[in-house]
Structure 1
Amino acid sequence: MRKAKIVDTIGPATESLEGITKLVEAGMDVARLNRSHGTPEDHLRVYNNVREASKTTGRNVAALVDLQGPKIRCGWFKKNADGEDKVYLEEGQEFVITTDDIEGDEHRTSTTFKGLPGDCHAGDPILIDDGKVRLEVTKVEGNDVHTKVVVAGPVSSHKGINLPGVAVSLPALTEKDESDLRWAIRTGADIIAMSFVRFATDIDRAHEIMDEEGRRIPIV
């Protein structure tokens, strides 16, 4: 028996019963349902397909529900000459992220996270769009986080912002996550994946919800 397990994220290209069955036959051990995208109805359909594929193939396949976690995003950008709400950041330039309600340009952008200036310090890294653009904090002044562009690239409206290694003052479980967790327990999921866990109390809260729903399952 192989000790390593294969976890596959189920997306639009594979969410049909036929698609999932092919994944199971190819060796998938765990089907990951990403709650960052789609509706509860979408995920219930995928979950049922996973169970049906497992039954017809005779292979045990676990259903993993991955909670979205807290999301920090850029605000809106002004449209450029091509009509796109996008800018290109050059290596070495200054770029400001502010909690003020502004329309972004090549020099600054707003953010959905009002606590950003309080959580950042000089030298901290900031990643935009899953790390496609990398910034380094140079200073914090009032509502403004001043940064230097380390890795250049395009940035557009509502792209995600990540602060690796920074203890941001956001709950590991948002209201949406708590609702999704209850859905997962009631539906019959086997595993829960949590993002941005920083403290044991984050896990404690997830266990509290599981206990309220009457069933505990593993958390990764």
Structure 2
Amino acid sequence: MKKTKIIATIGPSSDSPQVFAKLVDAGVNIVRLNFSHGGYEVQQNRINMIKRYRDETKKPIGILLDTKGPEIRTKTFKGGEATLVQGAQFILTTRDVDGTNQMCSITYDGLPNDVKAGDKILLNDGVILLEVVCVDDTEIVCTVIIGGVARDRKLVSVPNILTTLPVITERDIQDIEFGIKEGVDFISISFVRSAQSIKVVKQILQDKGAEHIKVIAKIQCSNAIEKLDEIIDAADGVIVARGTLGVEVPIAKMPRLQREIVSRCNRSGKPVIVSTHIIESMINNPLPTRAEAIDISNSINDGADAVMLSGETATGKYPVEAVKMTSSIAIETEETRDYQALLEAHRKHKGNKPADIVAYGACRAADDLAVSAIICPTNTGFTAGVVSKFTPQAPIYALVYDDRVQRTANLFSGVEPIMFEQRNEIMPLIKDSIETLKELGKIKVGDTVLMTFGIPYSNRQTTNTMKIHIVE
């Protein structure tokens, strides 16, 4: 089976039931709803479609709500764009004006208070570079250092400047409350700058009785790199948002930063998603570039649990083909990984927590015995997640009794979550786990399998036991 998970953004190219079903058949595990685009009615229709598909197929397709976040954008230009010339003066203003090649409005009134002479500002997703000359209450006067075409509603970035933007906007709160009502499985927080954003969202979820929803931090600004460890500790997972992050940090540093973020998440046992420009040429072409194929493979070898497709599946001409290609690259990469070397590399990071030590030991035994499967009966998905952390070669079957846990566990690399009636006694748990997987054709008589779980089984996050079993 494919170990690496694929997250697909749903948009006009993929929000019909026919195309969506083909995406899942091609390898999609989780769908992303981008709340920067589309109103509640549009998103509601997409959620209803996903739920109908889940009901019909019983496939655990999770829903990730991606918030817009506290971003800064240009407003509109006359004719939709303006060409900024190197060396010319250009003014960013908080007043509402029709944009020209001399001035445009921005969406954040506080920016004049956050920047000073000499600071750098990037427009149009990093294509245009401005240097601040002087500032007053409403206007930021700049010199164009690198010119280009500025367009409507494009991202404005201020690298290495701590703005006074709110950690969570009122719109984000409304979107999160909508997601709670609709039963989404993950909420990704855009433009996270510290752990505070994560804590605020988790408090909202707790107040609404929705603590089961996993909070994913999007690393997409330079401030987040400085607070990376506290963000990883606070979040349930991380997205490496390479597009916007690559605007704020030098491009030459991006390969190292991606590996560093992925590695830190691996060590913490938090699932990590690599996103943006995954297979972008397939928005318009039926095949990817060789560089894109290598990039996907490298991301998997770096330790990514999942890759996330954006425009490829949302607005592209070849959404199904893009997923098929990503799946085939993932499978090819996984088949040639050196799992023994990976396990040895993880050894020094296993820590001294009982769950980590047991999970590492289980993976080591699974490798030595060449087991057919690692079986993880789990209440919360915790055991499957901690086993996944050590990248075993054997498939990991997470037996869960809550369909919400089934969908969130589906984010971990190598984990196939399967619904299973809850058992409170250990011997029936072991016997029925084996029988369930035999009936599903996952294991067969004569196979050696390894089980790991916690005793007492009713306790949460107490992985402390492993058992080697010959299937009869």
The TM-score range, normalised by the shorter chain, is 0.7 to 0.9
- The separation in 2 between residues aligned to 1:49 and 1:127, in whole angstroms, is 39
- The separation in 2 between residues aligned to 1:177 and 1:43, in whole angstroms, is 14
Matches within 5 A, 1:128-167: 128-131=123-126, 133-143=127-137, 144-167=139-162
Q: 2:163 maps to what in 1?
A: 168
SS of aligned partner of 1:29: strand
Q: Which of 174, 183, 196 is the equivalent residue of 1:179?
A: 174
Superposed CA RMSD in Å reads 2.2
Unaligned runs of 5+ in 1: none
**TM-score between both structures, scaled by the size of structure 2:** 0.42
Shift in Å, 1:118: 1.8
Shift in Å, 1:157: 4.0
Considering Cα pairs closer than 8 Å and 6+ residues apart, tell me whether 1 or 2 has the greater RCO. 1
Q: 1:21 maps to what in 2?
A: 21
SS of aligned partner of 2:28: coil
Change (3 A) 1:47 1:164: farther
Q: Which of 207, 215, 230 is the equivalent residue of 1:212?
A: 207
The structure richer in helix per residue is 2
SS of aligned partner of 1:130: coil
Comparing 38-47 with 176-185, greater Cα deviation is found at 38-47
Q: 2:52 maps to what in 1?
A: 52
Q: 1:192 maps to what in 2?
A: 187
How many residue pairs match? The answer is: 214
Q: Which has the larger radius of gyration?
A: 2
Q: Which of 57, 80, 84 is the equivalent residue of 1:89?
A: 84
The 8 Å contact of residues 29 and 61 in structure 1, kept in 2 or not, is answered as yes
SS of aligned partner of 1:72: coil
The 8 Å contact of residues 120 and 137 in structure 1, kept in 2 or not, is answered as no
User: Which amino acid is 1:194 matched to?
Assistant: I
SS of aligned partner of 1:215: coil
- The separation in 1 between residues aligned to 2:66 and 2:135, in whole angstroms, is 36
User: Which amino acid is 1:134 matched to?
Assistant: I
Identity %: 36
SS of aligned partner of 2:128: strand
SS of aligned partner of 1:65: strand
Residues 91-111 of structure 1 deviation map (CA, whole Å, 9 limit, x = unaligned): 343322123444432122232
Unaligned runs of 5+ in 2: 217-472
User: Which amino acid is 1:108 matched to?
Assistant: M
User: Which amino acid is 1:43 matched to?
Assistant: Q
- Do residues 66 (structure 1) and 66 (structure 2) align? yes
**TM-score between both structures, scaled by the size of structure 1:** 0.86
- The separation in 1 between residues aligned to 2:38 and 2:103, in whole angstroms, is 31
- Structure 1 stretches of 4+ with a deviation exceeding 4 A read none
Q: Which of 86, 103, 107 is the equivalent residue of 1:108?
A: 103
Shift in Å, 1:19: 1.5
- Do residues 118 (structure 1) and 135 (structure 2) align? no
The 8 Å contact of residues 86 and 157 in structure 1, kept in 2 or not, is answered as yes
- The separation in 1 between residues aligned to 2:122 and 2:29, in whole angstroms, is 32
Comparing 34-43 with 113-122, greater Cα deviation is found at 113-122
SS of aligned partner of 1:162: coil
- The separation in 2 between residues aligned to 1:123 and 1:2, in whole angstroms, is 50
